[in-house]
Structure 1
Amino acid sequence: MLPPNPRAVPRPKTPRTFSRDWRRSVAVVVSVVALATAIASIALSLIAGTGPQSQIRLDVAKTALAVAAGAAGIITLLYAVRRQLLSEQVAEDTRLDLSERRSTELYVRGIEQLGSDNPVSRTGGLAALERLADNDPSLRETVTDVVCAYLRASHFEDDEMVRRSAQLLLHDHLIPESKYSFVKTYWSVGMIILTGAQLNSFALDCGLIDTVHFDKCDFQGGASFRDLTIRGADFMGAKFTGDTTFENSRLQKPVFIGAVFDGAANFDGAEFGNCPDFTGASFSRGCTLKGARVFDRDGMRGSLPEGWKLGPRNSDGSYGVLPATNDDADKHAQVGNTLT
């Protein structure tokens, strides 16, 4: 299962709310002071001569004046606290403003470096954007989009190492720390879009992503998606040159319509939330789905590769993927097939 979206963090009180609460507090204290002063004045005006009643009135007046003095002290303390809170608020606002300004400057500088003609500068731009996203989670989606846009763009000369660095950046930050203790900071991004990109020896092993768009991608030198977890996977029209593996991956809505696998295609142990759609896909060296399972066959509109079928329902509600016949199983292991 993919992790839920983080809960919204309560926002601090705005200056207007703080001022409104402050005015209420002062109004209450002032009312107490006024009431105590009025009581003291009335009691003092009623004191005449001596006697038990006069002494009682005098005690009441003293108590009222003491209350008024205490309330006045509270007002003084509240003003001091208010000044301190306002001072801290101004300091925090200044710090946040400087931090945002610094992040903006670093982001712009990284983008400028990424567009440089110098491959060293482009690599430095990637590193700068990576550090920025590590330190500011709110920018991780944006930086991921920038890296994907770079990979979708036309190649510069001598760009192979920079593109490899960009691919590695995506791989390193899309693996949850809970899986491996040595991985870098996990970036929880909703979507990566690499439509039409040319990718060399691409890998997203052990990644955790909501949605990926690899439609019309050109995967050269093989591709590895072992133990990958995705909700939505679009590989429509993608071309895989070299061996490709989705071994033990978990794909919710995988689409491979018209995909071309020019090499071995390994889906052993894969788990499909919905039946994968391989309509029109072709396999030059066969496709294997040993131990693969489909969890929802009722709402499926996809189709398995030729020579494979859904088996009976398992105890966990899933359906195993089995060779259609023994002859087909041998054919997949030795020759391969082309779908219609």
Structure 2
Amino acid sequence: MWWLLTGLPTAPPGQAGIARGEALRTALAAGAGVGAAVTLALSFRRQRHQEITTAHATHDATERRVTELYTKAAEQLGHDKAAVRLAGLYALERLAQDNPGHRQTIVNVICAYLRMPYTPPRSPGPQRSAPSTPGPWQVAAPADPDLAEGERQVRLTAQTILAEHLRDERPDQRASLPSQPRHWPGMRIDLTGATLIDLDLAEAHLAEAQFDGAIFTGDTSFNGAVFTGQAQFEGTTFTGDTWFFGATFTGGARFSRTTFTGEADFDGATFTLDAVFFRATFSGNARFSEATFTDHALFPEATFHGNAWFDEATFTEFARFDGATFTSDVVFDGVTVTDFTGSRMSRAEWTQIADHPDHVWPPGWHTVTCPDGSTGLARQESAAGEENGEDAATAPSIPPEEPAGTEEKPRE
């Protein structure tokens, strides 16, 4: 400021005061601009701080509200009245729909409810005698029919909520859906040991599925379902018909010691990694027509009481049926096989029906009698057998050395 007043060039008499006044006004204007800029910067920082504080307060309030609603809904699930439990389920569903970050937690809660011990009420009609007390992992259904039916409806509602939000909408349906889709992607479900009633998870997309030891009462549908992670069905019991038509297993599929009481339909299913059916029991018909096994297909010691169809199936890697029992018709017509070596059936029951005219084997394969008297499969033309002086029509198939980790060993 002093420089502006004293550093002016010499002005004619009478104009020096005017020049100093102009310089002073200029200096004041510049100072005012700087002050305004500083004030504006401080105001911006203060406003930004207030916005951050408000956002944090809003987030904290939202989280507190979510926690309160979640706690209340979870408490409702423990109520003795079915209507209150239903209200708790619907409250959890709405909470998950509006808060994507809490969806997996709420799915876990619903799955935990379904895992609770439960014995479905007996259906009307004659019943075979059964123990009067429930098993170690189940509780008896309520003696009051109304209470039993109420619990059944609660469980059916829990299953429906899961199914509706695990099912991915088709592209042609998304245009007519609300702005917030109902599909909850990337969900993992754990229904280990659960008792499930007429479960319908057709078209569901599951990041991971645990059903070990579960009991599926009634009919079950996984038609068109997509399992992007591991699918565990070990020790599972399906009491009715079961459909996996067109299902896709991107991760491994484990059906060891699983019991299919009704028909088991895997037509058109795709198994990208190992498909293991060790000691699985198919009481009804088993259908694997046009199924694709990209990795190992393992059916050791499986039992097929009904007809077994593998027609038009594709086995990219080797298939194993060691010790499998087939008591009815078996069809491998039109199968595409990369390596069927080792597909040997050593059960005595199999020997009795192996040459049945209704059985159809993969192209280029036929049954042979092994040295131990069992029946195996061999190629009709074997270059290796000719080189060793063996008859190609009688050379039994020799199982190749098992890659590490591909064959499941029996549990003690």
Partner of 1:258: 257
Alignment check: 8 A CA contact 1:219 1:239 kept:
yes
CA-CA distance at 1:116 after TM superposition: 0.7
Q: How does 1:126-205 map to 2 (within 5 A)?
A: 126-155=89-118, 157=142, 158=148, 159-178=151-170, 180-181=173-174, 185-205=182-202
Alignment check: 8 A CA contact 1:140 1:189 kept:
no
Q: Secondary structure at the match of 1:212?
A: strand
Q: Secondary structure at the match of 2:64?
A: helix
Deviations 1:248-284 (A, max 9, x none): 0001211101111111000001111123111110101
CA-CA distance at 1:312 after TM superposition: 6.7
Alignment check: 8 A CA contact 2:223 2:247 kept:
yes
Q: Distance in 1 between matches of 2:68 and 2:279?
A: 48
Partner of 2:43: 80
* Identity level (%): 32
Unaligned stretches of 5+ residues in structure 1: 1-39, 314-318, 331-339
CA-CA distance at 1:222 after TM superposition: 1.8
Partner of 2:358: 327
Partner of 2:79: 116
User: What one-letter code is carried by the residue in structure 2 that aligns with 1:78?
Assistant: A
Alignment check: 8 A CA contact 1:46 1:57 kept:
no
User: What one-letter code is carried by the residue in structure 2 that aligns with 1:126?
Assistant: L
Q: Distance in 2 between matches of 1:120 and 1:41?
A: 85
User: What one-letter code is carried by the residue in structure 2 that aligns with 1:283?
Assistant: F
CA-CA distance at 1:94 after TM superposition: 2.6
Alignment check: 8 A CA contact 1:47 1:58 kept:
no
Alignment check: 8 A CA contact 1:227 1:247 kept:
yes
Change beyond 3 A, Cα 1:288–1:137: same
Q: Distance in 2 between matches of 1:132 and 1:108?
A: 11
> Which deviates more, 70-79 or 300-309?
300-309
Change beyond 3 A, Cα 1:216–1:130: same
> Which deviates more, 276-285 or 62-71?
62-71
1:44 equivalent to 2:40? Answer: no
Alignment check: 8 A CA contact 2:192 2:212 kept:
yes
Q: Distance in 2 between matches of 1:134 and 1:312?
A: 41
Partner of 2:211: 214
Change beyond 3 A, Cα 1:321–1:166: farther
Alignment check: 8 A CA contact 2:208 2:227 kept:
yes
> Which deviates more, 150-159 or 225-234?
150-159
Partner of 1:245: 243
Q: Distance in 2 between matches of 1:123 and 1:178?
A: 29
Alignment check: 8 A CA contact 1:291 1:321 kept:
no
Alignment check: 8 A CA contact 2:293 2:315 kept:
no
Aligned match for 1:68, one of 31, 34, 49: 31
Alignment check: 8 A CA contact 2:291 2:314 kept:
no
Change beyond 3 A, Cα 1:206–1:95: same
Q: If the length of structure 2 is used for normalisation, what is the TM-score?
A: 0.61
CA-CA distance at 1:57 after TM superposition: 9.8
Alignment check: 8 A CA contact 1:134 1:140 kept:
yes
Partner of 2:137: none
Structure with more helix by fraction: 1
Q: Distance in 1 between matches of 2:152 and 2:263?
A: 25
Q: Distance in 1 between matches of 2:166 and 2:335?
A: 29
Q: Secondary structure at the match of 2:274?
A: coil
CA-CA distance at 1:49 after TM superposition: 4.0
Change beyond 3 A, Cα 1:311–1:106: closer
CA-CA distance at 1:176 after TM superposition: 1.7
Q: Secondary structure at the match of 1:160?
A: helix
> Which deviates more, 211-220 or 319-328?
319-328
CA-CA distance at 1:58 after TM superposition: 9.0
Unaligned stretches of 5+ residues in structure 2: 119-140, 143-147, 317-333, 344-353, 362-409
Q: Distance in 1 between matches of 2:169 and 2:35?
A: 56
Q: Secondary structure at the match of 2:185?
A: coil
Alignment check: 8 A CA contact 2:269 2:288 kept:
yes
Q: Distance in 1 between matches of 2:24 and 2:299?
A: 93
Partner of 1:290: 289
Change beyond 3 A, Cα 1:123–1:222: same
Q: Distance in 2 between matches of 1:284 and 1:329?
A: 21
Q: If the length of structure 1 is used for normalisation, what is the TM-score?
A: 0.73
> Which deviates more, 168-177 or 301-310?
301-310
Partner of 1:277: 276
Partner of 1:104: 67
Aligned match for 1:226, one of 198, 223, 238: 223
1 or 2 for the larger relative contact order (CA 8 Å, sep ≥6)? 1
Alignment check: 8 A CA contact 1:151 1:197 kept:
yes
Q: Distance in 1 between matches of 2:57 and 2:315?
A: 64
Alignment check: 8 A CA contact 1:292 1:321 kept:
no
